Structure 1
Amino acid sequence: MGAFLVWSLVVFAGLLAVPAVSHTNATTTFSLMASSMAFVCMAIAQFMAARPPFIEPLFGGLDRVYHFHRKIGISVLGLILVHYFLTPDFKGLSLTSGLNQLAASAGKYAFYGLSALLVLSIVKIIPKTKIEIPYHLWRYTHRFIGLLFVLVAFHQMFIKRPYDGTALLAVYLNAFAALGILSYAYTQLLPWLRTRSYEVFEVTRHDGATIISARPIGRALKVKPGQFGFLRVLKNGLREPHPFTIAGIEADGVVRFAIKPLGDYTRALRENIAIGDRLKLEGGYGQFNHRRGAKKQIWLAGGIGVTPFLAMARHLRGDEGQDIHMVYCVRDRNEAIGLETFEAQAAKLGNFSFVLHDSAKDGRLDAAKLAAGSAIDPGDADLWFCGPPPLREAIVKGLKELGKKPRRVEFEQFQFR
């Protein structure tokens, strides 16, 4: 639904350009159709970056919002290239020659800036090398796209054009200019408007993850089990916000994160986080919650993908009207976290069963092993998955070959660039 609404708004901009500029020539018409659609795309991208809560259900979660956000960026790059190379040629209307000249210059510099930043956003790894563009560099430069959008808005409002300000196209684009600029301003205020302050009171370093427990200072986050939040530590080297699934939520507002040291930031976090550190948290986000699933469910966690299941399992009461079988796959038992929670819940609740798959002892987990060891037939259940995508793809493919294709597969695409 979300994608349909967005593309409808974008295509409508192109359609509105036809009656406004078709009296010129074909080249100008196609060029201004492309520029109008690109402008609406940019405004919607700014709006999505503000993370309004009501758009999550339209796309199925914030992860999918950001994946679609990336598609918009690719579309913008293509459309502005069309506008640039199909040079408009018309006798148009301008407010003043001075403003027209400024608008032309603003558009030229915005084009070069956007082209560079959009390529930087789209390309994660430099082609023919193993050099990955660092997350902090991507995030820092990405913020300038909002400023460039302001230049584009100035360009489209004051550049000479073959229609006047009362045309429906002009009104439509001006509305999206206001939406985009206000959204950008809001994103710059986001760290103060939507974050909550927390204090770390416990840090435990397991083989598989660093467990961070923090209590709220003032208002607590509103989080559902299975959701994630953006975390940053008010400490040198750790101030950059990163998304992490919340592994535990208590009634008093206490939250717990289980973070595996996989990259530069998470390794620095493991080494430097300490009791008494102040955190800024934002959330919760995501639609990964078993309560909206079927009556029969199989939960499959791979490695650190256990975190949403840990939060959901802690909140099971046995009266959900759902039968749940969980499989937790780890390379070695020593890496497993939260075993005591899963085992205690399985012993106490009649609707929850639990199996730990230790790959070092049990071999590689495949669909046949999953189906044979499950208390629920996968063909009659939803599969809720969190872990490495290759494991998910192999299991789903294997179950399909066994004639036990799950009714639905739920997972999050936990990448935001």
Structure 2
Amino acid sequence: MTNPKEGAHPYTIASEWRSDTNELTFIIKALGDWTRQLRGWMKLDMPVTVEGPYGDFDFDDSCSHQVWVATGIGVTPFIAKMKERAESKSSYKVDLFLAVPVENVEIQARLEQRALDANVTLHWYITEREERLSVKDVFDQIDDLSDTSVWFCGATLLGNSLNNYLVDKGLSKKNFHQELFEFR
């Protein structure tokens, strides 16, 4: 989305691809002036221009196990993929590790249901009551990396740590995927 004063802003689509509808869902965290004003500025049925995609965060691989790791708003692409998985009845194993700053019972309940519908095992890390999500937290729970791919969207430092750890453990670089989270 482009604001003449701010320039272009990248957002991740949070809805699955369906050719029978003209709707897209975005989850946008109000971090700056522009994103704080969006709620009051945008209107239902307002025309928008969507460009992209940028990056290749498409979950397309042949591994039997995918590990998804997200921090905060970085959960957005995983929400879209869970919706798609629920409809397509995908069978490969998925673990989603999600770190959020505070507990939100309503959001957690919705995500728990989406994960259940999509056959995704959801691992929560609430950083207000626990330490931050670490590489050790994730991979202490994963037994075998031999047929595993890792998909990460979140804070760049954690992504870099994950990548370094996985390469050291022998994961092929082609099996680590990091979304362009700090794109702007």
TM-score, normalised via structure 2 length? 0.78
Instruction: List per-residue Cα deviations over 1:362-388 (Å, max 9, x = no partner).
Output: 3121122112334x6345411100111
**How far apart are 1:265 and its partner, in Å?**
1.8
**How far apart are 1:320 and its partner, in Å?**
2.9
| Cα distance in 1, alignment partners of residues 113 and 70 from structure 2 | 18
Q: 1:303 aligned to 66, 72, 76, which one?
A: 72
**Structure 2 matches for 1:358-377, cutoff 5 A?**
358-374=126-142, 377=144
Structure 2 counterpart of 1:269: 38
Structure 1 counterpart of 2:95: 325
C-alpha contact (below 8 Å) 1:327/1:354 kept by paired residues: yes
* 1:380–1:294 distance in 2 versus 1, CA, 3 Å: closer
* 1:320–1:284 distance in 2 versus 1, CA, 3 Å: farther
C-alpha contact (below 8 Å) 1:298/1:378 kept by paired residues: no
Structure 2 counterpart of 1:254: 23
Structure 2 counterpart of 1:346: 115
C-alpha contact (below 8 Å) 1:232/1:280 kept by paired residues: no
**How far apart are 1:244 and its partner, in Å?**
0.7
Instruction: List per-residue Cα deviations over 1:151-206 (Å, max 9, x = no partner).
Output: xxxxxxxxxxxxxxxxxxxxxxxxxxxxxxxxxxxxxxxxxxxxxxxxxxxxxxxx
C-alpha contact (below 8 Å) 1:371/1:377 kept by paired residues: no
Aligned residue for 1:314, secondary structure, equals helix
Q: CA RMSD in A?
A: 3.0
Identity, % of aligned positions:
26
Structure 2 counterpart of 1:355: 123
| Cα distance in 2, alignment partners of residues 278 and 366 from structure 1 | 41
| Cα distance in 1, alignment partners of residues 115 and 163 from structure 2 | 25
* 1:359–1:413 distance in 2 versus 1, CA, 3 Å: same
Aligned pair 1:392/2:159, yes or no? yes
| Cα distance in 2, alignment partners of residues 302 and 312 from structure 1 | 16
| Cα distance in 1, alignment partners of residues 112 and 76 from structure 2 | 15
Aligned residue pairs, count:
178
Structure 2 counterpart of 1:203: none
| Cα distance in 2, alignment partners of residues 384 and 355 from structure 1 | 15
TM-score, normalised via structure 1 length? 0.38
Structure 2 counterpart of 1:128: none
* 1:365–1:298 distance in 2 versus 1, CA, 3 Å: same
Larger radius of gyration: 1
Structure 2 counterpart of 1:285: 53
| Cα distance in 2, alignment partners of residues 297 and 337 from structure 1 | 26
Letter in 2 for 1:323: K
Aligned residue for 2:90, secondary structure, equals coil
| Cα distance in 2, alignment partners of residues 410 and 380 from structure 1 | 14
* 1:268–1:293 distance in 2 versus 1, CA, 3 Å: farther
Letter in 2 for 1:384: W
C-alpha contact (below 8 Å) 1:371/1:378 kept by paired residues: no
**How far apart are 1:314 and its partner, in Å?**
0.8
**Structure 2 matches for 1:88-127, cutoff 5 A?**
none
**How far apart are 1:247 and its partner, in Å?**
0.8
C-alpha contact (below 8 Å) 2:115/2:121 kept by paired residues: yes
Structure 1 counterpart of 2:149: 382
Tell me which of the two structures has the higher relative contact order, counting C-alpha pairs closer than 8 angstroms and 6 or more residues apart.
2
Which structure 1 residue ranges, 5 or more long, are not aligned?
1-230
Letter in 1 for 2:152: F
| Cα distance in 2, alignment partners of residues 321 and 367 from structure 1 | 26
* 1:293–1:232 distance in 2 versus 1, CA, 3 Å: farther
| Cα distance in 1, alignment partners of residues 183 and 116 from structure 2 | 38
Letter in 2 for 1:366: S
* 1:415–1:247 distance in 2 versus 1, CA, 3 Å: same
C-alpha contact (below 8 Å) 2:153/2:181 kept by paired residues: no
| Cα distance in 2, alignment partners of residues 246 and 329 from structure 1 | 20
Q: 1:406 aligned to 150, 171, 182, which one?
A: 171
Aligned residue for 1:324, secondary structure, equals strand
Letter in 2 for 1:355: H
